[in-house]
Chain A
Amino acid sequence: MNTTGTVTGIISNLVTVKVEGPVAQNEICFIRIGETKLMAEVIKVNGAYAFVQVYESTRGLKPGDSVEFNGHMLEVQLGPGLLSSNYDGLQNNLATMEGVFLKKGEYTAPLDPDKEWEFSPIAKSGDKVKAASWLAEVKEGWLPHKIMVPFSFEGEYTVKEVKAAGKYKINDTIAVLVNEKGEEVPVTMVQKWPVKVAIRGYVDKPRPYKLMETGVRIIDTLNPIAEGGTGFIPGPFGCGKTVLQHALAKQGEADVIIMAACGERANEVVEIFKEFPELVDPRTGRSLMERTTIICNTSNMPVAAREASVYTAMTIGEYYRAMGLRVLLLADSTSRWAQALREMSNRMEELPGADGFPVDLPAIISNFYSRAGIVTLTNGQTGSVTFIGTVSPAGGNLKEPVTESTKKAARCFYALNQNRADRKRYPAVDPIDSYSKYIEYPEIVKYLTERIGERWVPNVMEAKNLIIRGKEAFEQINILGDDGVPMEYHLRYWKSELIDFIILQQDAFDSIDANTPLERQEFMLDKVLEICRQNREFENFEECSSFYKKVINVMRQMNYSKWKSEEFNQYLEKLNTLVNNN
């Protein structure tokens, strides 16, 4: 018998419920307004009163309305069919909802119960299995989707039976397991898991040791992110956070992409809905949408579900990781999630921390980031969740609680710089402030050396150094004037400009320049550094700037040309003539 209660107070989406019986923190309940049921989550209990945050508008709710608690926390359904689906923050399928407007209290099934999946068994009768062991496989698009022993199963089980290859629906029993007490437990293709609890079921979580290629030069070359790594992109509005995130989603080297649009613009999600099915993943030749799940809780959708959306996304990511797949999880923006926490904390009249945010904000953020990582599964294979979140700092000031808390949790920092954005130097990632801790990892250095070559890491360091020296020279030129500094300063400045224009800047809207494979990045960095290393003499600074401008112009044309095409080679030849004759 479920616990029930009645509404006694309402402030916006925070509702006080007088409870008759036991109730758990984070338990889900439904409040009844006439025929409509509104979903809510317990966020505080005080005596006989539970404070619940309602995932919907509370318009029309009144004291005395009845509430029914359902005995578990917010859960998601995990099974075949998650990919290429579009969910709201509570995993309702947006595509199957009726009408143009979101209706209050309309909840739709996340997975299609009638779809038949091509099934083939992996485990066989007599196998010893435990939570997260692979029992079978279905084809989800081109991906092998593993059907696993539900994560909630404790202890060891013996496989009694796994269904033969064939077509099954998600709710069909596909295996029967026997537990240690000798009881038979049927297993279907779908399982449920509470979103706020991390999915375990792996052996260990080593330090990240592989590069995740993104095709974005300022990331791959200068501040690489590791597979299973964490990163964040803070930046004022208008600096290109979303464009950069979309580039990562399109080009990221991953099997599965999960995008959580958390409290952001609806039109940005529409862009994904429209573009992704048309775009082709260069690695598999399949539509990008086939590997993508979108969790969409835009800024005008209920605030409480915003918080849930990032957890829903992470849980789905962990599920695919347990299948031995590489998952890239993107959340835009984690600040909106923090603001949702602030709104609730405020309504509960908790004592506020910095800027009115709840005091446990840093703990919540680092706990969330820690769910990413590369893991070794029980069968020795690896799977990973790489997480990159954006942060929208209030007033563009990076000294605010969300940015500071995230900086402690994430290992890569891609600071977007207003000044670079104003000068249309996109992606506006600040080359000096940004960092990747992974490039300091011996495992990653070893990997890069093996993958690209001995020279690579020293080259990257040299380029970084040239950028810093160029900036110093630029400041001196600004203070002392063009004629007030030695020629050397102009040379230094222009070398850094060359790196800036050719390596750092990248046109996300140009079909060729947008995505630069590692091989091409290596070539261009080599070429740029080769020019930087040459000793050049100039009569005056104008001669210097005019030479480098010409070089930049030609190399930019190279960036716009198809790799190793005739056009590309022509520009390369032009460049060589230019460089060797001067």
Chain B
Amino acid sequence: MTNKAFQRIYTHLESITKATVSLVAKGVTNDELATVDGRLAQVVKIKGDLVTLQVFEGTEGIPTDAEVLFYGEPPVLKVSDELAGRFFNAYGEPIDGGPAIEGEKRYIGGPSVNPYKRRQPSELIPTGIAGIDLNNTLVSGQKIPFFANPDQPYNQVMAQVALRADVDKIILGGMGLSNDDYLYFRNMFEGAGALEKIISFVNTTEQPPVERLLVPDMALTAAEYFAVDKNQKVLVLLTDMTLYADALSIVSNRMDQIPSKDSMPGSLYSDLAKIYEKAVQLPDGGSITIIAVTTLNDGDITHAIPDNTGYITEGQLFLRTDTDTGKVIVDPFRSLSRLKQLVQGKKTREDHSQVMNTGVRLFADAASAKTKLENGFDLSDYDNRCLEYAKDYSNQLLAIDVNIKIDQMLDTAWALFAKYFKKEELNIKQSLVDKYWKGN
């Protein structure tokens, strides 16, 4: 960031914590940026003349006589078409060796879209993964996270989804990304020859955690530029939102705020909602779709981060390893796309929603049969058929390495139904059974 004329300079800090510094200063506005000893900081609290700043890089080595310069404005991103194909850090500075971006200055973390001006999402985003397209169909303008344990290949799945999706721009917001994963994304994007439609804002694990707080707002400001100004379809990838929330708790802790559940700040819901609610279908055709990652501690979704996320997002996608087939699958029980009914049977075949429900219900019956088996009970004929069906269903539909069209998914499901079940065991509307049944 460049210096401006008429800057106010202060040289005495009243107090320093691990993430914040306080000083006496006049005429400072809420949310404005400053540098403290050359490091970027933002005003988070004003009490009379005492101003508290959150220092993004951390306060290690900052002396009490550090030079503080106020910018007089909140963080900005310069937006223009030049953003496309570039890699930036959390401050929006290029990290790919290219030139700085010329363009219009926009304050990041700007206002919300008037809900009345939104349009209902109605465009299907096909991914080829049946666990998503068949059971949890994605829609443009949706916001949905992957809930995954740290050992699961969520970044790979997300990159696959992004590259298969039919969108104009893909914006990656990487928070606490390991350097390996950063390079993975970079190689994937370059290898797919899709670099010109991709923009990345990356904070890696090598960089200070508090910096991450800027990444989603940077990514979404860029997204709003393309979606609102250019009427483009934009897909935003945010990984990993758990690390983002951790950074929030660090800052609130340093500011002596009373923590709520799981030592998270009481405002966690609103903080996350401000990000996720940027997903939107706009009246003039542009849209922002957000796919995020929330890593879990051993599958615990009652923790404050996934819990609050679940209440904000339009569903969630669960990855788990299916022990029967050894494949990573999209868990049909715990995954949900709340917007799926906007496209199922409307943009896809009429039997979609009933086939989906029946497929999952039979898979649930198989899970009950398995419990019975584990408890040492005899299985009925129906139980055995369910178990066999579950294996095929898992292999041919739920596994994340499946890549087929939605009609093929439906046909596969009908074929499995006919292979293992009778018509009356399906509980599907008769007219659909008559039309699509693949058996005798």
Residues of A within 8 A of B (CB): 8-12, 16, 57-64, 86, 94-95, 97, 99-104, 236-238, 263, 265-267, 269-271, 273-274, 296, 298-301, 303, 333, 336, 339, 342-343, 346-347, 349, 352, 355-356, 392, 394-397, 422-424, 478, 481-484, 501, 509, 541-542, 545, 549-550, 552-553, 556-557, 560
Contact = CB atoms under 8 A, between A and B. Distances in A.
Contacts of B282: 100
Interface string B304-325: 1001101110111000000000
B427 interface: yes
Interface stretch (B105-113, B192-200, B403-411): B105-113
B312 A299 contact: yes
Contacts of B315: 238
Given A16-B47, A299-B273, A556-B427, A394 B29 contact: no
Contact of A356 (B258, B339, B425): B258
Given A238-B315, A267-B314, A394-B307, A64 B375 contact: no
A333 B302 CA distance: 18
The 8 closest A-B pairs by CB, nearest first: A395-B302, A299-B273, A300-B277, A481-B377, A237-B310, A94-B116, A356-B260, A59-B31
A488 to B, nearest CB: 18
Given A356-B258, A422-B334, A269 B427 contact: no
Contacts of A303: 267, 270
Interface in B115-161: 115-121, 141-142
Interface residues of B, number: 85
A94 B334 CA distance: 36
Given A62-B27, A342-B260, A346-B257, A270 B48 contact: no
B3 interface: no
Contacts, number: 217
B427 A60 contact: no
B29 A62 contact: yes
A51 to B, nearest CB: 12
A256 B360 CA distance: 39
Contact of B341 (A263, A301, A509): A509
B380 interface: yes
A525 B142 CA distance: 40
Contacts of B424: 549-550, 553
A429 B372 CA distance: 26
A538 B226 CA distance: 67
B43 to A, nearest CB: 8
* Residue among B273, B278, B279, B341 having the largest count of chain A Cβ atoms under 10 Å: B273
A65 to B, nearest CB: 9
21 contacts: A12-B267, A58-B31, A62-B28, A63-B26, A94-B116, A99-B117, A100-B117, A101-B111, A270-B120, A271-B120, A339-B266, A342-B266, A356-B258, A394-B261, A397-B302, A422-B334, A481-B372, A482-B372, A509-B341, A542-B380, A557-B430
B267 A481 contact: no
A60 B30 contact: yes
Contacts of A349: 258
Contacts of A483: 377-378
Given A59-B74, A423-B364, A265 B259 contact: no
A215 to B, nearest CB: 19
Contacts of A263: 269-270, 273
Given A62-B30, A299-B277, 18 more contacts: A57-B111, A58-B31, A62-B27, A62-B29, A101-B112, A102-B111, A265-B277, A265-B314, A266-B280, A343-B266, A346-B258, A356-B259, A392-B311, A397-B302, A422-B334, A424-B361, A481-B372, A482-B380
B348 to A, nearest CB: 14
A16 B49 CA distance: 13
Contacts of B15: none
A94 B261 contact: no
A367 B419 CA distance: 59
Interface of B: 26-32, 44-49, 74, 107, 110-121, 141-142, 228, 257-261, 266-267, 269-270, 273-274, 277-283, 301-304, 307-308, 310-312, 314-316, 333-334, 336, 338-339, 341, 353, 357, 360-361, 364, 371-372, 375-378, 380-382, 424-425, 427, 429-430
B372 to A, nearest CB: 7
Nearest to A336: B269
Contacts of A270: 115, 118-120, 281
Interface of A is mostly: mixed
Contacts of A347: 257
A187 B120 CA distance: 42
Given A9-B46, A269-B115, A394-B261, A481 B382 contact: no
A395 B46 contact: no
A95 B283 CA distance: 14
* Residue among B27, B283, B314, B377 having the largest count of chain A Cβ atoms under 10 Å: B377
Nearest to A542: B380
Given A266-B277, A270-B119, A482 B314 contact: no
B116 A86 contact: yes
A218 B171 CA distance: 45
Contacts of A553: 424, 427
A303 to B, nearest CB: 5
Contacts of A99: 114, 117
Contact of A58 (B26, B30, B121): B30
Contacts of B117: 99-100
B18 to A, nearest CB: 19
A482 B277 CA distance: 49
A60 to B, nearest CB: 5
Contacts of B260: 342, 346, 355-356
Contacts of A64: 27
A395 B333 contact: no
* Residue among A265, A271, A333 having the largest count of chain B Cβ atoms under 10 Å: A265
Contacts of B308: 394
A299 to B, nearest CB: 3
B127 to A, nearest CB: 20
* Residue among B120, B259, B304 having the largest count of chain A Cβ atoms under 10 Å: B120
Contacts of B310: 236-238
A483 B375 CA distance: 13
Contacts of A16: 47
